[in-house]
Amino acid sequence: MTQTSNDESRHPFLKGLSKHRGAPPTVVVIFGASGDLTARKLIPAIFNLGVDNLLPGDFHLIGYGRKPIPDEEFRSLMDEAIKQHSRRPLSQEIWERVRQHVSYHAGGYDDAEAFASLAAKIDGIEQDLGREVQRLFYVSTPPSVFSAIVSNLGASGMAKAHQHTKFASKVIIEKPFGHDLESARELNAAIKNVFEESQVYRIDHYLGKETVQDLLVQRFANSIFEPIWNREYVDCVQITVAESLGVGSRGGYYDTSGALRDMIQNHTMQLVALTAMEPPVSLDPESIRDEKVKVLKGIQPLSLDSDGGDVVRARYESGMINGEPVKGYMEEEGIPEDSTTESYAALRLSINNWRWKGVPFYIRSGKRMARRASEIAIQFRRPPGILFSEGNKFDVAANTMVISIQPDEGVTLVMNSKIPGLETRTQPVKMHFRYATTFGSNTPEAYERLILDAMIGDSTLFIRGDETEASWKLITPILEHWQQSGEAGMAGYAAGSWGPRAAERLLADNGHEWRRSG
């Protein structure tokens, strides 16, 4: 009781803090603190948690990077990050209470002495506070240094600090988590040598999006959906993660990745798992993650035959976006002349379990597509053509539930209705639910939810080690096949379109068509 009072006297913005979301005293260390993600997402997220009274009373932030930066200069950089990227304007009163506990620590990621001095710095914070604090390490660096950081966190003793208490250290690791199955296993092994699985938070920001979280509520809190969420009623599932942007200035980096690694192995496969999973026994994080892993393990190996297989890859060619001409992928800056990297990938998945046997899951992701759109579309079976099948008189569409993840979060239900008039004619209509309309437009950013969850130890929206390996096990054979094939089987599509014609075959084999998202 006394400690709570002390916290609130030091930080008045903590009053009214929801106790069940309360985080213990915490020191957050961001590795890669001078990077783009820190400025665009992490610092604005921390600021907004402060605005919402969700930071602990004793909260310290340490930026870590190779480049030496004076503390006050680093704080000024964080000020600008909030002004430019926060969903709320900078409040000097609120931010100053955090800002005075922001500092910077310079050192290499393989520099044992720098990690030892970082550990001493955090120990000094504990001594000044007269209490223990949890250490939350956010690894926002290129994957090439993940292992070095994890190893030094172990060697310095910081990984084991206050282990098996509420102040136990935690580590958040950004994607990409490996580049194939072997590298993912190696990284998991390196982490396991230092941290227990309960301390590890593999982040996928898609899981922090409101609509993705709402998917479980739509399924399991509404009795009208779950009874028909199966092979008896669902004809197919389509998941689209489309971008209208090209590779831009990231051409050199993107060409080492491609659409399959960049979007499908992580974001899109997570959407598949959440859509297809069985009801968990509880909302306990492990119960939910257990069911996701079962789905990923139940996906059948894909046919890689270029003529009739389950996979299509393509690159965007020159075209028009918003009325403006744009370059093709091979003309972008930083793309090598001999590139065989795809900017679009589409897969046809089959899940071998009782619920989904025979129901195809079509997933696609690409750059320079017609518009930015991320959605999950559950297409139900058409009604038997008995009553409303006479010529062109009746326009009857398949009932479809569309969960829009971005840019306009919400749910749309496509159903059939009679057109007003003296003659019986039908037409598909849409029933819309939009988050912005119902709840307001100032929705928390995904990183706000995920950073808070990591601080309080809720791993529900993070990826477990066996989960990422199950996903890579499905994807790696495709990558190996493409590497061996070179340019063979690479299709093209005009920028501003919905992808290559070759991808239409994946659906046409079963009498389906891609949705025109939006």
Report, as residue numbers or ranges, the catalytic residues.
267
Considering Cα of 224, then 226, then 231, then 237, what sign does the dihedral take? positive
Both tokens assigned to 192 = 């396991």
Spatial neighbors of 276 by CB under 8 A, at least 6 apart, are 237, 295, 351, 355, 356, 361
Both tokens assigned to 364 = 């696609």
Residue at token pair 């490996």: 178
Residue 166 to residues 26, 60, 124, 133, 138, Cα–Cα distance (Å): 11, 17, 20, 9, 18
Q: How many Å apart are CA 135 and CA 125, to the nearest integer?
A: 11
**DSSP 8-state code for residue 47:** H
Burial of 385 (0-12, 13-18, 19+ CB in 10 A): exposed
Spatial neighbors of 15 by CB under 8 A, at least 6 apart, are 8, 53
DSSP-derived pairing of the beta strands 26-31 and 59-65: parallel
Both tokens assigned to 249 = 């200035």
H or E element that contains 468: helix 465-485
Q: How many Å apart are CA 192 and CA 200, to the nearest integer?
A: 9
What is the b/e burial string over 190-219, where b = at least 16 CB atoms within 10 angstroms of the residue's CB? bbeebbeeebbbbbbbbbbbbbbebbbebb
- Can you name the residues that pair with 64 across neighbouring β-strands? 31, 105
Q: How many Å apart are CA 41 and CA 47, to the nearest integer?
A: 10
Q: How many Å apart are CA 496 and CA 370, to the nearest integer?
A: 4
Residue 461 to residues 111, 206, 271, 287, 437, Cα–Cα distance (Å): 32, 9, 12, 12, 25
| First-last CA distance in the chain | 52
